[in-house]
Amino acid sequence: MMLIRYFPSSRSYFIFLLTLTFIVLSNGAISSPPTVQYHLSAEQTHNKFSRNEKPVLTVKSGAVIEVFTEETTDKQLNLGSSVEDLATLKSDPIHPLTGPVFVEGAEPGDTLAVTLHEIELGDWGFAAIMPGFGLLADEFTVPYLRTFDFSKNKQEIQFTDKIKIPLNPFPGVMGVAPDTDERLSTIPPRANGGNMDDPHLVEGTTVYFPVFVNGALFSIGDTHAVQGAGEVTGTAIEAPMRVIYELNLIKGGRKLQEPEYETNDSYAVTAYATTLDEAAKKATRYMINYLVEEHGMDRYAAYMLCSLAGKLKIAEVVDMPHMLVTMHMSKKVLGIK
């Protein structure tokens, strides 16, 4: 069971916790995910971030939504594609994001909690090396493509005769709208979330987004079947998926600068910057803020705890001009059961 400790002293948050987390039955079993109230198809998409993107759905806090996502090229590739098809890819359709969803009552300064209840992999995916893209773009100049059939096995891929990779599906992009009229590219991560490419954002995770515009305007997409930390070639195994998520609006809580999240085991902060050094510094500051404001620590003790028990992790290094670093703190260390 995931226990949220975002506002430990707030009675209203305790009520929110009960509605957000899984319900434990009297025999100790965990209930099934909540009933889906709304459905969005893989055609109800956009691929830019702006406060002017028109919502495809309006919901109240607590809504449970089933969405279907398309792979990152928006059907320009398929299971039968060859490496030659990479040369004809168009950039305009990249990152189809299902949404945005307008949350009634959401205002700048609020927090939107997004709980990922189910993530179901589609039937195929691809990974590619594309010239000019990736951490070692200067060294790998020849295109390379692998496609993967998941119709019979959604647990792992046979990468080589000897190497199997367990699948770990998650959305590469989740975000709310930034406060701008400009239609921003979805490629780099920002304070609104976006292309975080963090492989820890799996089923069961709750992500907290700072709200920048009325309605929040939440979107999700760029779903990945599996990805290493860093996504060094610029692609994971890109695949279409079905996702069930829940939206809960938090009023009057701690003000976030960038998304934060929690899993069963850890609380984590995210930080983007143009260098890994600066992103790591920001992540450390955000974790200190969390420890001070939510666990009553002084800043020196919090800084020391970050050094002794915090775990800095690279999420992605290829979505220029920004990179994303996270810091995780064990709930066991924090005394959260």
User: How far is residue 267's CA from residue 233's CA, in Å, rounded to a whole number?
Assistant: 28
Whole-number pLDDT of residue 31: 56
Element (H, E) at 331: helix 331-334
Please write down the HEC assignment for all residues of 28-49: CCECCCCCCCEEECCCCEECEE
Instruction: Assess whether pLDDT exceeds 60 at residue 181.
Output: yes
3-state secondary structure of 164: strand
Q: What letter would DSSP give residue 101? A: E
Q: What is the CA radius of gyration of the chain?
A: 19
CATH code given to domain 11-260: 2.60.120.580
Chain center to CA of 327: 15
Residue type, 212: F
Q: Which pTM value belongs to this model?
A: 0.90
Regarding beta strands 64-69 and 241-250, do their DSSP bridges make them parallel or antiparallel, or are they unpaired? Answer: antiparallel
pLDDT digits (tens, 9 = 90+) for 100-132: 999 999 999 999 999 999 999 999 999 999 999
Q: In sequence order, what are the residues at sequence separation of 6 or more whose Cβ sits closer than 8 angstroms to the Cβ of residue 147?
A: 77, 78, 79, 80, 81, 124, 125, 126
User: How far is residue 233's CA from residue 6's CA, in Å, rounded to a whole number?
Assistant: 35
How sure is the predictor about 8, in pLDDT bands with cuts at 50, 70 and 90?
very low
pLDDT digits (tens, 9 = 90+) for 254-312: 999 999 999 999 999 999 999 999 999 999 999 999 999 999 999 999 999 999 999 99
User: How far is residue 56's CA from residue 46's CA, in Å, rounded to a whole number?
Assistant: 10
Lowest-confidence segment of 4-18, 238-252, 282-296 by average pLDDT: 4-18
Instruction: Assess whether pLDDT exceeds 60 at residue 217.
Output: yes
As a whole number, the mean pLDDT across the chain is 92
Whole-number pLDDT of residue 129: 98
pLDDT digits (tens, 9 = 90+) for 321-334: 999 999 999 999 99
